[in-house]
Each structure stands twice: as structure tokens, then as C-alpha cells.
Amino acid sequence: MEHNEIHWHDCELLLMIEVPSQDELILRVMYPVDWENGEYEETDIVFRGFHSININEIPFEGNPTLLGLDSVEIVDSDLFKASWLKFYLSTNAGIRVIEAKSVHLRERI
């Protein structure tokens, strides 16, 4: 699944987990499985080849909700001789910028 196929809007962020040994950042969210009927289920959005995250949000009570994926940029590094993606995620508290090689959905087991 490509980043533009993920339904980002209205995903309540439950928790965020970094797994350094696997170069992953996991956003556990309430994902809309039937948005029109208000049906959500706990799902992981997994960023693989994770490089960094920058969170620029205001103090907020409760869990932030993703509003959307604003943009995606390609980052080319001559120093590391590699490239990856920069994902700009807006939330109802601000913005989160995540740098990783890819992103996909993974249901919890």
C-alpha cells in the first residue's frame, strides 16, 4: 500500500513506538474501516527505514487526531549515499514530520 492509499484523516493517535533494531516507527491509531458509518479499528501505520521525527504541536489534552498527509518530499543524501521520504502529517495539535524509506498499514495481531 502506498502512502496516498492510506486514509490519514480522522485517525486518532493512540501511541507511538520506535523499534530501533528494525528501523521502524509505529503509529498505533484508530483507523477508519468504514468512515461513513463511523467504524474504526486499532491499526498500525508503520514507517520502515525510519530516520527521524520532528513533533511541532501545541499542548493538547487527550490524543491527537491525524488530519491528513500534507505532503511527501524525497530527501537525497550524498553523505549517506541514500534517499528516503519526508512525510508531513498534520494533526489537530500541529504537525509531525517523519523521515523514513516507506510507510504501510499493518493490522495488530
Q: Residue holding cell 494533526?
A: 91
pLDDT > 90 fraction of the chain, expressed in percent and rounded: 74
The residue type at 41:
E
The confidence score (pLDDT) of residue 5 equals 87
Alpha carbons within 13 A on the beta-carbon side of 75: 20
H or E, element range at 36: none
The confidence score (pLDDT) of residue 77 equals 80
The ranges of the chain with pLDDT < 50 are none
